[in-house]
Amino acid sequence: MAKDTAIKPKQAKNKKYLLVRYSRMNLLGLFEHNETYIPKVPTRVVVETEKGIELGYLTGQFGMYKAGQFKLNNEQIKQYYDTSNINISVEQAGTFLRYATADDINEENHLKKNAAEEMECCKQFVKELNLPMKVVEAEHLFGGERIIFYFMSEARVDFRELVKKLAHEYQTRIEMRQIGARDEAKLLGDVESCGQQCCCQRFLKVLQPVNMRMAKMQKATLDPSKISGYCGRLKCCLRYEDRTYTELQKRLPKKGALVTTQHGSGKVIDTQILTQLVMVKHDNGTKVAVPVEELEIAKINRKSKIENRK
């Protein structure tokens, strides 16, 4: 009688994959290849995606490959990157074509210069057509078969005429992609107030919600200049330690709670999450900061409490 066992998903047999970061939006995906040697130094690669031919960066080459095969199976890959909020599909993203040459890098630099000129041209057409949109960035694919324009708009935009003018100007396929404020930061952001490159640009791919509760819990001030990032929204890094702050806060008594310390009984008037200190005002008026481990929550007779409310 066959036993029901959990079957772990595995990559297809006889297929080898490279983990590659590609696209102007810094996507991450698996690409099939037939190489036996994987360089252990930063390496550029040429890959073919559903959009066309692109240049990317080889990722995970330090101890992550054996005989050209990426060591982790699909489940392990997903689990590893989920913990860092990095978006990666375990489905094949495309095909590895070759390691990039000096000519490939020169061609990429040439296309980047072209993309800057193409963006200015697009901005001019937008102005002529009086379209309510802001052109943020242009990406000219390495294969030359497509130009992608990233834009922002608060309303729906009919850009069919714009696409016609651009296609006629450059004789190639044109794609318009609408983005938000956080995506704009991902494309244009540089150095944040912490001195590091913007997380959304450097490694963060899943831009999960960040709310004011996280900011109030972690920051002593709610000055917008202190808690807002390049995009003008709450900093994504507020989410990194939210779980830790939430767990530490659960250990602390609420303000107004009656407690007992070695100095006597009193009432909680303030708490500090990271230091786990509780400020207690004793019955005699003295205030003392006490570690949460050294106090005891006073037990109140529920019956007498109800009677006092009447």
Q: How many CB atoms lie within 10 A of CB 54?
A: 23
Q: What is the 3-state secondary structure (H, E, C) of 216-262?
A: HHHCCCCCHHHHECCCCCECHHHHCCHHHHHHHHHCCCCCCCEEEEC
Q: Is residue 307 part of a domain?
A: no
The domain tally of the chain equals 4
User: Does any domain span residue 32?
Assistant: yes
Residue 223 inside a domain? The answer is yes
User: Does 309 fall in a domain?
Assistant: no
- Look at residue 114 in the predicted model and tell me its pLDDT: 92
Instruction: Give the C-alpha separation, 245 to 274, whole Å.
Output: 7
The pLDDT profile of the chain, 310 residues, written as one tens digit per residue, is 444 444 444 455 567 888 888 988 888 888 988 888 888 888 999 999 988 999 999 987 666 777 677 777 767 766 766 665 565 666 788 999 999 999 999 999 999 999 999 999 999 999 999 999 999 999 999 888 899 999 999 888 999 999 999 999 999 999 999 998 888 888 887 788 888 888 887 777 667 788 899 988 888 778 888 888 888 889 888 888 888 999 999 999 988 899 988 888 899 999 999 999 999 998 888 898 989 988 887 764 444 444 444 5
Q: Are residues 96 and 21 in the same domain?
A: yes
Give the other-Cβ count within 10 Å of 176's Cβ. Answer: 18
Q: Are residues 210 and 234 in the same domain?
A: yes
Give kind and range of the element (H or E) at residue 29.
Answer: strand 27-33
Q: What's the domain range around 294?
A: 258-300
Same domain, 83 and 112: no
What pLDDT score was predicted for residue 85?
Answer: 58
What's the CATH number where 110 sits? 3.30.300
d(CA 187, CA 166): 22
Helical pair 102-129 and 160-170, crossing angle rounded to 10 deg: 140
269 lies in some domain: yes
In terms of domains, do 239 and 281 share one? no
Look at the pTM and tell me if it is higher than 0.85. no
Q: Which of 136, 160, 179 represents a domain boundary (last residue)? A: 179
Final residue of a structural domain among 179, 196, 224: 179
Contacts of 192 (CB under 8 A, 6+ apart): 198, 199, 229, 230, 235
126 Cβ partners below 8 Å, 6+ apart?
A: 133, 135, 162
On whether residue 80 sits in a domain, the answer given is: yes
Q: Does residue 162 share a domain with residue 121? A: yes
The pair of three-digit structure tokens given for residue 299, joined into one six-digit string: 């037990």
Block residue for tokens 């990559």: 11
Q: How many CB atoms lie within 10 A of CB 201?
A: 18
For residues 131 and 162, the answer to whether their CB atoms sit within 8 Å is: yes
| 114 and 171 co-located in one domain | yes
Nearest to 25 by CA among 236, 207, 240, 227: 207
At which of 155, 179, 203 does a domain end? 179
Report in angstroms the alpha-carbon separations of 310 from 121, 257, 258, 300. Answer: 76, 21, 21, 16
Whether residue 138 is found in the same domain as residue 74: no
Position 62 in a domain: yes
227 and 284 belong to one structural domain: no
Q: Decide if 8 is inside a domain.
A: no
Question: DSSP assignment, residue 293?
Answer: G
For 88, residues 6+ apart whose C-beta sits below 8 A from its C-beta are 28, 29, 77, 78, 81, 205
Residue with tokens 């379209």: 131
Compute how many other C-beta atoms are within 10 angstroms of the C-beta atom of residue 200. 23
